[in-house]
Amino acid sequence: MAVKITWLPMNKTVEVDLDQMPYKEHGKPRSFLDVAKNCGIHLEHACGGNCACTTCHVVIKQGEGMLSEMQDDEADRLDMAADLTLHSRLGCQAVIEKNEGELVVEIPAWNRNYVSEGGENAMAGAAKKEE
Ligand code: FES
């Protein structure tokens, strides 16, 4: 079995057997971030997948029913995301529970521009201060 995930706006479709996919140690296992790391898709993750930023924000266009329910910590963090929608999730926290079916997910423009706006450097500085 496998899931098919289409990433927008790149329009890149990957097919992944989640039961066979190795965990890449970023975000929850079988999360969108985990899939992205496994499939060479660039999804920002300034906090390393620890539910402490919003740079992994994704919007689910299809297949929401295949995902884990949103937990309170994800909902609280997501509230701070730019371009928030009713179908928004954090890529590092939303786990794909079904290993069969089709998902379509979009990386919002704000997150795509994050690095070019210098956001990564700002976060790296903030992360260092907390150490
Ligand atoms: S990578 Fe920071 S919340 Fe997902």
Domains of the chain, CATH where assigned:
3-130 (3.10.20.30)
DSSP label of 49: S
Over the chain, what is the mean pLDDT? 89
Please tell me if the CB atom of residue 78 comes closer than 6 angstroms to any atom of ligand 1.
Answer: no
pLDDT average, residue stretch 104-108: 96
Q: Indicate yes or no: pTM above 0.85.
A: yes
Do the beta carbons of residue 46 and residue 119 sit within 8 Å? yes
pLDDT for 40-68, tens place per residue?
A: 999 999 999 999 999 999 999 999 999 99
* Residue to substitute in 26, 34, 47 for testing ligand 1 pocket (most ligand atoms within 8 angstroms of CB): 47
Please tell me if the CB atom of residue 55 comes closer than 6 angstroms to any atom of ligand 1.
Answer: yes
Which pLDDT score is estimated for 119? 55
Mapping DSSP onto H, E and C, the string for 101-131 reads EEEEEECCHHHHCCCCCCHHHHHHHHHHHHC
What is residue 76's three-state secondary structure? Answer: helix
Kindly tell me if the per-residue pLDDT of 120 is higher than 60.
no
* 3-state helix, strand and coil shares in percent for the chain, rounded to the nearest 5: 25, 25, 50
Q: Is 125 exposed, middle or buried (0-12, 13-18, 19+ CB in 10 A)?
A: exposed
Q: Which atom of ligand 1 is nearest to the CA of 47?
A: 2
N-to-C CA span, the chain: 42
Residue 107's pLDDT band, with cuts at 50, 70 and 90, is: very high
pLDDT average, residue stretch 120-125: 44
How many Å apart are CA 45 and CA 27, to the nearest integer?
A: 9
Please tell me if the CB atom of residue 60 comes closer than 6 angstroms to any atom of ligand 1.
Answer: no
For the chain, percent of residues with pLDDT exceeding 90: 82
